[in-house]
Structure 1
Amino acid sequence: MTQQLALDIHLRDDFSFDSYLTSSNQQLASALSTLHSDYPLYFWGEAGSGKTHLLHALLNQYVSQGKTVSLLSLDGDERPANKICEGLEQCSLICVDTVDAIVGDSSWQQALFHLLNRTKQNGTHVAISAHCSPQHLDVFADLQSRLAASLIFEQQVLNDDEKKTALQQRAKMRGLTLSDDVANYLVSRAQRDTHSLFSLLDRLDKFSMVKQRGLTVPLVKEVLFGVR
C-alpha cells in the first residue's frame, strides 16, 4: 500500500462505503464513490458526523485500484505549506480533511488555492471536508470563490435509531453480536457522536476478547464506569 501513497498516511481499513450507514447522506456517499475531476467535492457537517470515515472510504477505494492518493490534514506539519502541496496534483486523488484549519493562515490559503488550480489543469480528483459551508469559511475571496464552485453537500447527523443501526452494522462486520438492549444503552449513556460511539465499540471489542465475555450491558458499564 505504501508505494501507492503520496504521503506517509495511515488509512483506516475498516472505513469503507460498505461500512458507512448512508441514510440521509445517500447522495453524498454516491457522489464521493463516483468522484470525477470536473470540480472538487466539498462536504461539511458538525463534528462526529462521519466526515473522516467518508474520506478514508474514498482513499481506500482509490488505493485498492492501485491509484496514488494524498491526505492533507493541514495541521501538525511544520514544513512550509507550499512545500507540502508541491507536486500533489500528480496524484489521482487528494483529500483535504477539515479545511477550516486554514482560517487565519494566509500561507496555507495561498498554497491550497494554487494546488486547486493545478489539480484542475491536471484532472486530479479532489474531496474536501469542513465544519461549515464555503460561504461561511473565512478565507481570501479567490479561494472562497473556488471552493464555492465545488459540488457541495451538507452531511446530515444520524439520529439515535440510525446510530444504533450503524453500531450494529459495524459490530456485525467485526463478527460481534450487538443486541438492541446494548445498542440502546450505548446511544443513551455514552458520548453520542458517531466517532466516539465507534471508538467505544472498538474498546468493547478488545475488552470482551480479553475477558472472554459477550457484549452485554454489564460489560459496557464496566468499560464506561468501572462498575463490576
Structure 2
Amino acid sequence: MNSIYKSNINKKYKFKNFIEGKSNKFVKTLIFQIAENLDKKYNPLFIYGPTGVGKTHLLNAIGNKIISKNNNIKVVYVNSERFVQYMVMALKNNKIDNFKKYYRSVNVLLLDDIQFFANKKRSQEEFFHTFNSLLEDKQQIILTSDKHPKALKGLKNKLISRFECGLTMFIKPPDLKTRIKIIIRKTKKNNIILSDKTAEFIAKYIKTNVREIEGALNRIIAKSNFKKSKITINFVKNVLKDIIFKDNKLITIKKIQKTIAKYYKIKINDMISKCKIKSITIPRQIAMIVAKKLTNYSLSKIGNSFGGRDHTTVLYACKKIKKLCRENYSLEEDLNKIIKKLSS
C-alpha cells in the first residue's frame, strides 16, 4: 500500500531523449511549456493516440522536468489500472480516506491510459470527485488515452464532459523521417553502425509505433551479434522477411480499396469512378492516404489505381483528409481503425 504514496515517475523518460518529429512536435512543445511555467492554462490536458507513440514517455518527462525545477511540487504519475488496484486495496484495508486525501492533495496528476476505467463504476466515481477537487484547487491534470474522449466506451458522460473541458490533443504514429531518427538513435545507443540507407529501409517497413521499431531492431541486432554479420539492407531483408513479405504481398491497393469500400458500405467501383458525391469522395480520399501510408507505391501509381488519376490528386486527397481529421475526431478514428485493420 505504501507504493501509492510515491511520485512513481520513471527517471529514464526525459524531454532530451524524446525523439521529436512532425507527428509529435506540437504536443511535445506544449507539454514542455507546461513543465516550464505550470500556469494551468491548459487544464485538463487530454492526450490521445495509438499505443507506442510516446504518450507515457511525455507524461514522465513532464514529471521529471517539474521535479527538477522544484522538488517541493507534489507530482504523481499513475496508470489507471494501478489507480483502480490502489483504490481496491485501500477499501480492503479501511484506508480509503488516506487514498482520497493523497490523490486530492497533489499539485500535478499524470494519469495514463484512462480507457482502463471503462465499466469500473466505483473507480470512475472516485476519480470524478478527485478530478473535480483538483480542478477547483487549480492543480494541473494531464491524462492519456488510446481514444478521443467522445470515443471512449464504458465511461460516464459526466467524466467525458470533464475531460473535454480543457485541451484535447492527438499524437500520430511516427512519420518516416521520425522513424529513421528513432532507428539511428537506438542503434547508436547499442554501439551499432548503421548506414542511413539501411535505417531508411527498416523505417519503410516498420510503420506503426516505437515499440514495433524496437522489437524489429532487437531481432536485427541479436541476429547480427549471433552471426557476427554487418547490418546491411540484404541482411535486414533476411531477418525481417516476414514483415517485408506482409507489407509487399498482403497490403495492396486493391485490398485497401476493398477494405475501405466495405467499411463505408460503398461499391469497389466507386473508388475508381468519377463520382463527386461526398459519401464517395471521402472514402476514396481515405483510401489514397492509406495507400500512401501502408505501401511503397509511388504517388503516380496510387493515383493511376484510382481511375487513372494523377499524383497531384493523391497529394490533394492526403492534404484534405489530414485537414478533416483535425476538425473531426470521428473521421480520425475511422482512419486509425482502417490502418490498424490492414496492418494486423
User: TM-score range with shorter-chain normalisation?
Assistant: 0.7 to 0.9
The aligned residue for residue 130 of structure 2 is 115
2:79 to 48, 73, 84: 73
Q: Deviations over 1:43-74 (max 9, x none)?
A: 11112222112112212212322243211212
Q: Structure 1's 191 and 99: CA in aligned 2 closer, same or farther, altered over 3 A?
A: same
Which segments of 5 or more consecutive residues in structure 1 lack a partner in the other structure? none
The aligned residue for residue 183 of structure 2 is 167
Q: TM-score by structure 2 length?
A: 0.54
Give the secondary structure class of the aligned counterpart of 2:64.
Answer: helix
Give the secondary structure class of the aligned counterpart of 1:43.
Answer: strand
Give the secondary structure class of the aligned counterpart of 1:126.
Answer: strand
The aligned residue for residue 55 of structure 1 is 59
Conserved in 2, the CA contact under 8 Å of 1:182 and 1:215?
Answer: no
Distance apart, 1:178 and its partner CA: 3.5
Conserved in 2, the CA contact under 8 Å of 1:85 and 1:112?
Answer: no
Q: Structure 1's 199 and 124: CA in aligned 2 closer, same or farther, altered over 3 A?
A: farther
* Alpha-carbon distance in 1 for matches of 2:220, 2:60: 23
* Alpha-carbon distance in 1 for matches of 2:66, 2:190: 23
Conserved in 2, the CA contact under 8 Å of 1:41 and 1:150?
Answer: yes
* Alpha-carbon distance in 2 for matches of 1:215, 1:68: 48
Distance apart, 1:88 and its partner CA: 2.0
Whether 1:29 and 2:28 are equivalent positions in the alignment is yes
1:42 to 29, 43, 46: 46
Q: TM-score by structure 1 length?
A: 0.77
Distance apart, 1:128 and its partner CA: 0.6
Q: Deviations over 1:15-62 (max 9, x none)?
A: 425523142332211221122424110011112222112112212212
1:131 to 146, 159, 171: 146
Of structures 1 and 2, the larger Rg is shown by: 2
Give the secondary structure class of the aligned counterpart of 1:75.
Answer: helix
Q: Deviations over 1:162-182 (max 9, x none)?
A: 211232245456765442233
Equivalent residue letter for 1:79: Y
* Alpha-carbon distance in 2 for matches of 1:164, 1:156: 16
> With CA pairs under 8 Å and 6+ residues apart, which has the higher RCO, 1 or 2?
1
Which segments of 5 or more consecutive residues in structure 2 lack a partner in the other structure? 91-95, 242-344
* Alpha-carbon distance in 1 for matches of 2:169, 2:186: 24
Conserved in 1, the CA contact under 8 Å of 2:183 and 2:199?
Answer: yes
In the alignment of these two chains, the number of paired residues is 220
Q: Deviations over 1:59-103 (max 9, x none)?
A: 221232224321121215633267455422333321111100001
The aligned residue for residue 87 of structure 1 is 102
1:101 to 92, 96, 116: 116
* Alpha-carbon distance in 1 for matches of 2:68, 2:10: 12
Equivalent residue letter for 2:146: H
* Alpha-carbon distance in 2 for matches of 1:6, 1:24: 35
- Larger helix fraction of residues: 2
Distance apart, 1:159 and its partner CA: 1.9
* Alpha-carbon distance in 1 for matches of 2:67, 2:162: 27
Conserved in 1, the CA contact under 8 Å of 2:76 and 2:106?
Answer: yes
